[in-house]
Amino acid sequence: MIDFSQIPSPCYVLEDRLLRKNLELLQYVQQQAGIEIICALKGFSMFSTFPMVRQYLAGATASSLHEARLAFEEMGSKAHVYSPAYLDKEFDELLSYSSHISFNSLNQFEKFKEKSIANGISCGLRINPQYSEVETDMYNPCIAGSRLGITRNQLGDTLPEGIEGLHSHTLCENDSYTLERTLKAIEERFGDLLKQAKWLNLGGGHLITRADYEPEHLISVLKGLKNRFPNLKIILEPGSAVGWRTGYLTSTVLDILDSQGINVAILDVSFAAHMPDTLEMPYKPKILGAHQEPVAGKHTYRFGGMTCLAGDFYGDYSFDEPLKIGDSIVFDDMIHYTMVKTTTFNGVNLPSIGIWREDDTFDLIKSFGYESFKDRLS
């Protein structure tokens, strides 16, 4: 439905209507289950959309002072905050943007509890239930040696005085059945403490807006949890689910070359700098109009970014017609965990940011240049 000829290259472009569709589903789950869903800014921080997000969700969760300030200034709500550790020089300012603060250790809580309680903050502890189905170690917070969360043996039979909630985040783009099994592990280890708490934050990783997700099962699971622990306010904080499949990254073919029998198309974007999760997770991004895997007899290309990093490439994809220099290549699902992770490595420019409106018009929200590169350096 988008006229990509109206959109510059490279550019992240979000579709208003797709974001609204996701938000409507999240709001439905929120209302039916009687819980609170907030937007995780670490996965989706496109603040030009926050007025729409605020119509449907209860607020935002932040992992730093800057994210908390962004939520406060652009979404108009104080944030639920969690960080592995807090800085003394930032903490007083952080308090002014926060409603809830979860601490990663008892040391951190003891250090900051007096200031937090005096400022009306609802304090929590991040727990490690020692159960996660995340297969990529980089995204698994429960592997041996993980720095994230407190294991059950570090806590006594009662919550520390001043702690009102528990925070658990062990999912990554998982479904409600994974959550159901995770809750079993949480209750086995922390059930007695849950009875003493006022709230339980189940973190992110709930990919509620994915096509094969079963929202009704999630609602059932959450209602069951509330029945078992009627004292608890339940909070979910997805990031990917908000921005899931809501937009694209446009790019242009700059050159095509033969590399020892492999056709390589070099783009005006970088996988390493603009789509780092494709290399870190890793996963293969979808390209509109392409065969996502090589097809014998068709025109096949490996796509390379414009940095000098040897590994700045991804492929291979096939096309019905041969590519030409100047052709447009559009990557799908490039809104969540993309803009928030971009860098200016090699001095490459950042993609512009725009929105395709519900009335089929395009708004260029922001463009970048030399200053964006220079401001990160000294």
Which residues, at least 6 apart from 371, have a Cβ–Cβ distance to it below 8 Å? Answer: none
Tokens of 24: 């409507």
Tokens of 233: 């306010």
**Phi/psi of residue 302, nearest 5 degrees:** -105, 135
277 is in an annotated binding site: yes
Interatomic CA distance for residues 295 and 357, integer angstroms: 35
* Among candidate residues 240, 234, 229, 195, the one with its CA nearest the CA of residue 218: 234
Tokens of 265: 């198309």
Binding site feature residues: 277
Binding site feature residues for substrate: 277
